[in-house]
Amino acid sequence: MEFFLDTADVDEIREIAAWGILDGVTTNPSLIKKSGRDFKKVVAEIASICDGPISAEVTAMDTAGMIEQGLALKAELPDNVIIKIPCTPEGLAATKVLTEAGIDTNVTLIFSAAQALMAAKAGATYVSPFIGRIDDTGHDGMTLIAEIMDTWSNYHWITTKVLAASIRHPTHVLQCIQLGAHTATMPAKIFRQLMKHPLTDRGLEGFMKDWAEVEKAGNA
């Protein structure tokens, strides 16, 4: 599974990129607002830290506007920037045009398997189903990932990657792995939670204590 960071905070991106396992970054207008920085400058900096796909979202609501913004972002930003587009009829049409122009896309705000399939038909490189936001409504967001993965197994022509988004806790990631989702995008906090295990910490503490005694005995 690809692991993406869902943030526009460059300090967090540097921290997790240093682990050597960061595959990409997703941003959205809310994350750009939270960063307090200029949109294009912060995306360019993110793209210089992480080699993988960096999602930058269009904000036009009409197809022509989305295409224009997508082309401008591709022209002005590093090659690894991909264009994030909302799952609307206008977004599908823009996805098709940008795909035909050889531009990678991430169709976002997916809340049904039918939406995911339509985005795949438009040529999306990634589709982003939002797990946590479905959980917030009292339904089970993971069911959507299962439905999309079932759909993908029914139609082998689909090459679009399923990018699980709106991840709120480590169990979401583990369940996505079991379902075979291609990618998960998550906040830095979830990366840290996934790596942390009290038995690793306790085991290491024991090894280091014993090693100090080996050194003390002159046997290192």
Q: Which residues are catalytic?
A: 84
Closest to 61 in 3D by CA, of 30, 101, 32, 93: 93
User: How far, CA to CA in Å, does 6 sit from each of 29, 54, 132?
Assistant: 12, 10, 13
Which is closer to ligand G3P, CB of 105 or CB of 185? 185
Spatial separation of the C-alpha atoms in residues 19 and 6, rounded to whole Å:
16
Which residues contact ligand G3P (rule: CB under 6 A)?
6, 26, 28, 130, 132-133, 165-166, 185
| Shortest Å distance, C-beta 100 to ligand G3P | 25
**Structural tokens at position 79:** 């090659």
| Shortest Å distance, C-beta 213 to ligand G3P | 47
| Shortest Å distance, C-beta 165 to ligand G3P | 4
Closest to 71 in 3D by CA, of 51, 91, 101: 101
Q: Do 119 and 110 meet the contact criterion of CB atoms below 8 Å apart?
A: yes
| Shortest Å distance, C-beta 16 to ligand G3P | 15
Which is closer to ligand G3P, CB of 28 or CB of 69? 28
Which is closer to ligand G3P, CB of 130 or CB of 152? 130
Give phi and psi for 217, each to the nearest 5: -80, 0
Which is closer to ligand G3P, CB of 128 or CB of 216? 128
